[in-house]
């Protein structure tokens, strides 16, 4: 199979994971699937640019694979240790409607992708649409779910979507910046995990619909 076909199939897998995150309510499964998505994206630069396999790309791939595949799930599992928080509660947008909205978003991002042609050739024509759809679905997850842990997962999906777009520029981005981005995301998730833990201790749940005491009174 050519590099383009492998890249296409991996990107399709990314979108399938997106659809799955919209439909699932079990936190443990969600954490694992988002980790899978991260690992697919970690491997993607290696298969997408087989001719340019340098130490740098291998290092970055291993780094993101380790981070997204193992460290982030571990952090999130630690933050949601209590079994009671493991199931999503009555999201703001129901699962069936979420799936429909997700499908519409995927269609929309393919339309947008057709309007935004890349000025240079990329390994797969799916990169821009998949990036846009994963970003949108990540945003939708953050907005439509109640549990703080699911919101963090939505943030991770959002970052994955942006990462897919970064792959179009894979060869051309300086190492330092890519490392910096990875590091920032890592520290971000780390801090969010700590905050999650505090929220669980303070509120006895991680249902963000209880975080409503700060508001403006008319």
Q: Which residues bind other proteins (CB under 8 A)?
A: 8-9, 12, 15-16, 19, 23, 95-96, 99-100, 102-103, 106-107, 110, 113-114, 116, 118-120, 125, 129, 135, 139, 142, 148, 151, 155, 158-159, 162, 165-166, 168-169, 172-174, 176-177, 180-181, 183-184, 187-188, 191-192, 195, 198-199, 202-203, 208, 211-214, 216-218
Tokens (6 digits) for 72? 């982030």
Minimum CB distance to other proteins smaller for 31 or for 133: 133
Smallest CA-to-CA distance from 104 within 194, 175, 18 is with 18
Integer angstrom CA distances of residue 132 from 41, 77, 146, 160, 188: 15, 28, 23, 10, 22
Q: In sequence order, what are the beta bridge partners of 147?
A: 207
Minimum CB separation of residue 54 from other proteins in Å reads 14
Minimum CB separation of residue 58 from other proteins in Å reads 19
Q: In whole angstroms, give the CA distance from residue 147 to residue 145.
A: 6
Minimum CB separation of residue 113 from other proteins in Å reads 8
Q: What distance, in Å, lies between the first and last C-alpha atoms of the chain?
A: 64
Minimum CB distance to other proteins smaller for 73 or for 113: 113
Extended beta strands in the chain, E state? none
Minimum CB separation of residue 73 from other proteins in Å reads 19
Residue 26 three-state SS: strand
Minimum CB distance to other proteins smaller for 53 or for 116: 116
């Amino acid at each position: 199979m050519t590099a383009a076909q492998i890249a296409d199939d991996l990107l399709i897998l990314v979108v399938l994971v997106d659809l799955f995150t919209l439909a699932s309510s079990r936190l443990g499964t969600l954490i694992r699937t988002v980790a899978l998505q991260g690992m697919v994206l970690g491997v993607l630069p290696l298969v997408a640019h087989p001719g340019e396999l340098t130490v740098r790309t291998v290092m970055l791939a291993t780094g993101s694979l380790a981070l997204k595949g193992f460290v982030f799930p571990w952090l999130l599992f630690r933050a949601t240790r209590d079994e009671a928080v493991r199931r999503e509660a009555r999201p703001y947008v129901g699962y069936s409607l979420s799936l429909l909205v997700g499908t519409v978003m995927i269609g929309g991002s393919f339309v947008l992708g057709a309007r935004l042609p890349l000025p240079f050739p990329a390994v797969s024509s799916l990169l821009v649409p998949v990036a846009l759809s994963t970003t949108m679905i990540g945003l939708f997850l953050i907005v439509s779910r109640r549990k703080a842990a699911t919101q963090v997962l939505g943030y991770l999906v959002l970052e994955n979507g942006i990462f897919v777009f970064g792959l179009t520029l894979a060869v051309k981005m300086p190492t330092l910046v890519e490392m910096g981005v990875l590091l920032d995301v890592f520290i971000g998730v780390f801090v969010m995990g700590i905050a999650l833990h505090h929220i669980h201790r303070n509120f006895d749940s991680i249902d963000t619909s209880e975080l409503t005491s700060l508001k403006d009174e008319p």
